[in-house]
Structure 1
Amino acid sequence: MTAGRFRDLLAAEWIKLWSLRSTAWLVGLGTLAVVAFAAQSSMDAYQSWPGFTAMEKARFNPLDEAFSGLSASLLMIGAGGLGALTIVGEYATGLIRTTLVAVPARHRVVAAKLIVVAAVTLVTGVIVSAGSFGVSAAILSGRGVAVSPGDPGVLRVLAANALLAPVAALTGVGIGALLRHTAAAVVTVCAALVVVPTFFQPTVHQWLNDLYALVPFYVWRTCLGLPQVRADPALPTVAGAWAAFALWPLAAAVVTLIVVRRRDV
């Protein structure tokens, strides 16, 4: 297939993605909701600051107000659900048959879909991360406790926050390709990416810690989402956390490719 034809595939996947009503709602309202959470949390901290104890002020992390666990959960659920719907919807409507008749090279179709989903959710993640940080910093600067992107560890936190969206979305595509059922795919995405990891805690069993260190939400919460990584052998390292972030979308892409190529439509 020529480069021109692959561009046509990308254009087709772009049109199909935005033809889903859920896309605009999830991207638009999801972005506004996460930024609004950051503003509300930061405003609460701003108003409560005079009543904080000296120890609370010393331990205060402004990035927790910009991007909380709840915000991360919402972002991953929304992006993961969007990723699942992009492929489940095609099977539900039968559009996948038309697509594969027009383009028998299934791996090209999968590649185009993954690229478009990754690009859209990456841009969304960047907007969410930058917007949440900017709003929070503007509010907390009134108390003199805001941080800047140049402070140690801040850029890593912002990058990790932005990458939560494409990691979740591509994982959703893989799960959607496996299950081919809207409700089952969305529930599985939520459980795998958010619900189960919220119960993860470091334990005395290293094999469990190694397993937890493969979960994106867990490594974000204990490592990448913190400006200073805690020196705890039970917690994932920065390198290991980035590897986990890369592993999930890569595995999802492989699963999607295998499933679409081997299963009948």
Structure 2
Amino acid sequence: MTAPRFRDLLAAEWIKLFSLRSTFWLIGLGTLAIVGFAAQSSLDTYRGWPDFTAMERARFNPLDETFSGLSASLLVIGAGSLGALTIVGEYATGLIRTTLTAVPARHRVVAAKLSVVAAVTLVTGALISAGTFGVSQAILSGRGVAVSLGDPGVLRVLAANALLAPVSALVGMGIGALVRHTAAAVVTVCAVLVIVPTFLRPTVHQWANDLYALVPLYVWRTCLGLPQVRDDPALPTVAGSWATFTLWPLAAALLTLIVIRRRDV
């Protein structure tokens, strides 16, 4: 029996991903909601701008209207849940048995799953990042306070906003492979990626700061999501933050591979 080509595995994983109704809800409604939040926030700022004090205007960051902490949390939860459901859903329906019978080489199945989920969520994240930026800056330009792609730090912020989706999705896949229960996987995704980082603050203890700098949402909030990075030894550096964005999905992909290869279906 000839082993299936990798592109056939990719096609199969694509079909399985979009056969889940949750995929369309999470991607479609999630994208509309986040872009809508950016538009509403920018409109509120546009209307209230004449009443801003001089200090408020000096401290105003147009990119805060583009992608707020709430939007980032929603994106992380949505993408992480989507990643978890691609694993949990297949185990819940028993389809994983058919998949692994047809393709005994489990590492190829995992590689195809990871590739499809990463590609879909990267495109989604890029569309959300570009959409929120375009809508918000178009509105703020009416007050002359918008920024452009050429302004310092803007491209870095937009890239970080977009990468939150695939990073979270791959971490969600690792959690889904480990937990294998829909509700527990989603709750764990929320706890690991959103709830815990919400309570993290810089402290006088450097070991705690170094620990905090290992959490994707935290490094986005305190470093990569800011056009002007604050010079504070208690906060993550740009290089360290990009390393965090790289290591989490790599570790999650390795965890997914190990769990699926070693645990029975």
TM range (shorter): over 0.9
Task: Verify: 1:17 aligned to 2:17, yes or no.
Answer: yes
Q: Which runs of 4+ in 1 moved over 2 A?
A: 1-4
How many pairs does the alignment contain? Answer: 265
Take 1:180 and 1:187, find their aligned partners in 2: how far apart are those partners?
Answer: 12
The 5 A counterparts of 1:168-207 are 168-207=168-207
The 5 A counterparts of 1:35-54 are 35-54=35-54
Q: Could you say what secondary structure the match of 1:242 adopts?
A: helix
Contact 2:173 2:252 in 1 (8 A): yes
Deviations 1:99-119 (A, max 9, x none): 000000000000000000000
Q: Could you say what secondary structure the match of 2:5 adopts?
A: helix
Structure 1 residue 3 displacement after superposition: 9.9
The match for 1:122 is 122
Structure 1 residue 7 displacement after superposition: 0.4
The match for 1:253 is 253
Q: TM-score, normalised by structure 1?
A: 0.99
Take 2:6 and 2:55, find their aligned partners in 1: how far apart are those partners?
Answer: 58
Take 1:141 and 1:2, find their aligned partners in 2: how far apart are those partners?
Answer: 59
Take 1:183 and 1:77, find their aligned partners in 2: how far apart are those partners?
Answer: 13
CA 1:29 to 1:206, structure 2 compared with 1: closer, same or farther past 3 Å?
A: same
The match for 1:63 is 63
Structure 1, unpaired ranges of 5+: none
The match for 1:237 is 237
Take 1:45 and 1:212, find their aligned partners in 2: how far apart are those partners?
Answer: 32
Identity across matched positions, percent: 85
Take 1:216 and 1:2, find their aligned partners in 2: how far apart are those partners?
Answer: 41
Q: TM-score, normalised by structure 2?
A: 0.99
Take 2:143 and 2:2, find their aligned partners in 1: how far apart are those partners?
Answer: 57
Deviations 1:10-32 (A, max 9, x none): 00000000000000111000000
The match for 2:87 is 87
Which amino acid is 2:14 matched to?
W
Deviations 1:185-206 (A, max 9, x none): 0000011001110100000111
